[in-house]
Amino acid sequence: MNRIKALGQAGQSIWLDFMQRNLVTTGELQGLIQNDGIAGLTSNPTIFQKAVEASQDYDDLFTKMASEGKTVVQVYDALTLRDIQDAARIFHPVWESTQHRDGYCSLEVSPKLARDTKGSIEEARRLWKALGAPNVMIKIPGTPEGVPAIEQCISEGININVTLLFSQEAYVTVAEAYLRGLERRAKEGKPVAELASVASFFVSRIDSEVEKRIGKARAASADERRSRLFEALMGKVAIANAKLAYRRYQALFSGARWDTLAKQGAHPQRVLWASTGTKNPKYSDVLYVEELVGKDTVNTIPPATLDAFRDHGKVRQSLTEDVPGAEVTMRTLEEAGISMKAVTDTLVEEGVQKFAESFDELFKAIGERLRAHGGKV
């Protein structure tokens, strides 16, 4: 069997972590659905930035909007909405055939709103209405300010992809926001069966940050015992963290509270593994796919990692393997003097900043392309 499709057979949905216009225009996206069983798509400001800078596929849009005197903001809106709407149309049969479990395409609110609850709600409403498709998700960061926005949007019937999650505690917080949103909606007598949400748990960045801190600690101390602890942690923390987050998912979406909502047709907010491309060349290029296979989860995979897994990936129910060992890894991290809270707090701040920077670079790239097509910026 196709190795990507085998992941689906194991109960995990595979979404594509990439968007570029030619995916739609060349039929490549349709091919990925048919040949690999790709079941959804995610985007973010960095993905769109690279697409605009690297591709000529948007020339028609730039020419048209330059002639109409449109602004950079208007072009950005038109470009992203068109791409996600077209992708959603291609995925609509997947959405139907999976009874609304999959087939979703995600578009993010401005990362400038990561600390703005009211602004995030208003922008999510605007994008949801503008996209006008039942199989789209609006991405809102799982920051403290994003949590009430997530609950409010769910209560209004807006599908939400919660992004930039790193810690188990933050995951639990957003999962509970999802549950509260569903409960509010049910209390008002509104349907909950059409709603969908995922919680995007970023993976590889955790190992990168831990390794950075290990490097600094090693440079500052030659303690042999700590060195042994450090060695035991290399390439292990992100996966251990994910396994424990998955255990929390299983607990949150079971029991009396969840059963009440499930009887009304509610879908669980699945954990989505994001940032699953391997950054450290010493590790397997399919590490964060092979080690994160579990039922009722999603893995959104960049194209290069997808190609690698199709070539040599192996499928097993890895998320439920040696969970006690994952607990040992997290204890070892603290014993080695590295705070997981400090790691995840740093990653949230960096993530917000990096997406904001990509957003600025995207607007800059759009401005340059608009000028090149005769527009006035």
Catalytic residues: 139
Residue 201: name the closest of 353, 347, 8, 5 by CA.
347
φ, ψ of residue 163 in degrees (nearest 5): -110, 170
**Measuring CA to CA, how many Å separate 36 from each of 2, 40, 368?**
7, 12, 36
The Cα 304–Cα 307 span in angstroms is: 5
Of 3.20.20.70, 2.30.30.40, 3.40.50.2300, 2.40.30.20, the CATH number of 3-203+242-316+350-369 is 3.20.20.70
Per-domain residue ranges of the chain: 3-203+242-316+350-369
What is the structure's pLDDT at 58? 95
- For the chain, 377 residues long, the average pLDDT of each consecutive 10-residue run is 95 97 96 98 94 91 95 96 98 97 97 97 98 98 98 98 97 98 98 97 96 89 82 95 98 97 98 96 97 98 98 97 97 94 97 94 94 89
What is the structure's pLDDT at 55? 85
What is the structure's pLDDT at 339? 96
What is the structure's pLDDT at 218? 82
Q: How many CB atoms lie within 10 A of CB 229?
A: 18
Count Cα atoms within 13 angstroms, Cβ side, for 254: 7
What is the structure's pLDDT at 79? 97
